[in-house]
C-alpha cells in the first residue's frame, strides 16, 4: 500500500549507520515489548533495526512478515521464531514472527494451533509468555481456535498483534463481527486490554485512522505495563505499538489487591448480610 509521504517519512532517522559503540540505554525510553504489522520482513529490516536502536526491546512481535519457509530472516543479537503462511496460489501471505533479545533468557512455547501465532517465554522480572497473533480481516476465525490458544499459553501471558477487529472498547467508532468476537474472547478468559484508545492503523484510501492492533494480558500483568503507539508508520500502514515496563518501585505501579479470605468471619458476615422482610417493609427503597 502506498503511503502518504508525511506519515511515511515522519521521524525516520536520516542515517541508518550502525553506531560504533552501544548507546547509553539511559538516554532512551525502554520498551519491554514492541509489536508491529510490518507488511514484509525483508523490506523492513532497516526499520526493525531502528526500533531496536531506539528502545532496546526484550522482544519484537511482527505480523504480516510475508516470508516463505525458504526465506532467510535474521537480526543480529536477536533470535527469531516464526510461522510462515502462504495463500492458495503459493504466495507468501500473512505470517508472524517474534524477535527475542539474546540478553534475555527465553524459551520457545510450542503451539499446536491453526492460527497464525507463535509464542516464547521470556524472563522479565518473572517469566512471562509473549504470543504474537495475526487474524486476517477476510478470514473467519473459529472461536474454538482462540480458546485453544489460551489453553496452550503458560500464565502469565501477553497476546499482542493485529486482530483486525473494530469495537468502541478499544477506540473504534463502531463494532464489526470480529470486534464482537474479540470482546467475547476477552470476557470469557477474563483478560485485560492494555490499549489506551489510540489509533494504530492508517487506511490510505479513505485517509482515516483506526485501532486494529491490540495488547491483551492476564490480570496479574496489567499494572506493570503502559501501552503507547508510535508516531511513525515506518513504510507500513500500521504504527508500532509499545508496552513499556512500569518501574515496580515507583508510585505508578500498584500490585493487585489480595484479600485474606481464609481469615474472614464468614458466619458473622452471613448474619449481617441477611436482609429480612421486616427491615425493608414500609420503608423508602432509597433510604434502606
Q: Which domains does the chain have, with CATH numbers?
A: 31-245 (3.60.10.10)
| Per-residue pLDDT at 263 | 66
| Per-residue pLDDT at 282 | 61
Task: Tell me the percentage of the chain whose pLDDT exceeds 70.
Answer: 78
Rounded to whole angstroms, the Cα distance separating 195 from 24 reads: 29
Tell me the pLDDT of the chain averaged across its residues.
84
Residue 90 gets the label, from left (phi > 0), alpha (psi -120 to 50) or beta, of left
| Per-residue pLDDT at 116 | 98
Phi, psi of 177 (to 5 degrees): -60, -45
| Per-residue pLDDT at 25 | 39
Q: Which of 119-123, 168-172, 273-277 has the lowest mean pLDDT?
A: 273-277
| Per-residue pLDDT at 286 | 54
| Per-residue pLDDT at 56 | 94
Q: Indicate whether 18 pLDDT > 50.
A: no
Report the relative pairing of strands 33-37 and 59-63 from DSSP bridges. Answer: parallel
pTM (predicted TM-score): 0.77
- CA angle 136/140/144 to nearest 5° reads 110
| Per-residue pLDDT at 133 | 98
C-alpha distances (whole Å) from 240 to each of 101, 107, 148, 199 are 18, 24, 27, 11
Reported confidence tier of residue 143, pLDDT bands at 50, 70, 90: very high
Residues 95, 84: contact at Cβ < 8 Å? yes
Asked, as a colleague might, if the bond just before 144 is cis with ω within 30 of 0, I would say no
Q: Indicate whether 207 pLDDT > 70.
A: yes
What value does the mean pLDDT take over residues 212-230? 96
Q: Quote the cell numbers at residue 286.
A: 432509597
Rounded to whole angstroms, the Cα distance separating 260 from 248 reads: 23
| Per-residue pLDDT at 129 | 98
Q: Indicate whether 108 pLDDT > 70.
A: yes
Residues 197, 214: contact at Cβ < 8 Å? no
How far the first Cα of the chain sits from its last, in Å, is: 63
What value does the mean pLDDT take over residues 72-99? 91
Report the relative pairing of strands 192-193 and 213-217 from DSSP bridges. Answer: antiparallel
Q: Which helix (H) or strand (E) holds 285?
A: none
| Per-residue pLDDT at 287 | 56
What value does the mean pLDDT take over residues 140-168? 97
Q: Indicate whether 13 pLDDT > 90.
A: no
C-alpha distances (whole Å) from 239 to each of 122, 257, 274 are 24, 34, 54
Q: Indicate whether 185 pLDDT > 80.
A: yes
Q: Quote the cell numbers at residue 8.
A: 511515511
Interval 57-83: pLDDT, tens: 999 999 999 999 999 999 999 999 999
Alpha helices in the chain (DSSP H): 5-9, 45-55, 143-152, 177-188, 266-273, 277-280
Of 65, 31, 74, 66, the closest CA to residue 51 belongs to 31
Q: Which of 86-100, 148-162, 182-196 has the lowest mean pLDDT?
A: 86-100
Q: Which residues pair with 96 in a beta bridge?
A: 63, 83
Of 225, 103, 102, the closest CA to residue 157 belongs to 225
Helix, strand, coil fractions of the chain, as percent rounded to 5: 25, 25, 50
Q: Quote the cell numbers at residue 72.
A: 532467510
Of 87, 125, 62, the closest CA to residue 255 belongs to 125
Q: Which residues pair with 86 in a beta bridge?
A: 92
Reported confidence tier of residue 279, pLDDT bands at 50, 70, 90: low
Q: Indicate whether 242 pLDDT > 90.
A: yes
Q: Indicate whether 278 pLDDT > 80.
A: no
Amino acid at each position: 500500500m502506498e503511503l502518504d509521504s508525511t506519515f511515511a517519512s515522519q521521524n525516520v532517522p536520516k542515517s541508518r549507520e550502525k553506531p560504533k559503540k552501544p548507546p547509553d540505554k539511559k538516554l532512551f525510553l525502554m520498551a519491554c515489548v514492541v509489536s508491529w504489522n510490518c507488511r514484509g520482513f525483508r523490506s523492513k529490516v532497516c526499520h526493525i533495526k531502528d526500533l531496536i536502536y531506539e528502545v532496546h526491546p526484550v522482544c519484537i512481535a511482527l505480523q504480516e512478515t510475508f516470508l516463505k519457509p525458504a526465506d532467510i530472516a535474521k537480526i543480529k543479537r536477536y533470535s527469531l521464531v516464526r510461522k510462515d503462511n502462504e495463500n492458495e496460489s503459493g504466495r507468501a501471505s500473512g505470517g508472524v514472527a517474534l524477535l527475542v533479545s539474546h540478553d534475555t533468557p527465553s524459551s520457545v512455547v510450542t503451539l499446536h494451533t491453526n492460527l497464525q501465532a507463535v509464542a516464547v517465554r521470556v524472563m522479565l522480572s518473572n517469566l512471562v509468555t509473549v504470543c504474537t497473533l495475526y487474524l486476517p480481516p477476510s478470514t473467519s476465525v473459529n472461536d474454538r481456535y482462540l480458546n485453544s490458544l489460551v489453553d496452550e499459553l503458560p500464565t502469565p501471558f501477553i497476546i499482542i498483534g493485529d486482530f483486525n477487529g473494530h469495537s468502541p472498547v478499544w477506540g473504534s467508532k463502531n463494532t464489526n463481527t470480529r470486534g464482537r468476537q474479540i470482546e467475547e474472547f476477552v470476557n470469557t478468559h477474563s483478560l485485560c486490554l492494555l490499549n489506551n484508545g489510540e489509533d494504530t492503523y492508517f487506511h490510505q484510501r479513505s485517509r482515516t485512522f483506526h485501532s486494529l492492533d491490540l495488547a491483551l494480558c492476564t490480570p496479574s500483568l496489567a499494572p506493570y505495563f503502559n501501552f503507547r503507539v508510535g508516531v511513525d508508520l515506518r513504510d507500513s500502514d500500521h504504527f508500532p505499538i509499545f508496552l513499556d515496563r512500569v518501574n515496580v518501585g515507583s508510585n505508578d505501579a500498584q500490585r493487585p489487591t489480595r484479600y485474606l479470605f481464609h481469615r474472614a468471619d464468614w458466619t458473622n458476615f452471613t448474619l449481617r448480610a441477611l436482609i429480612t422482610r421486616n427491615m425493608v417493609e414500609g420503608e423508602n427503597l432509597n433510604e434502606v
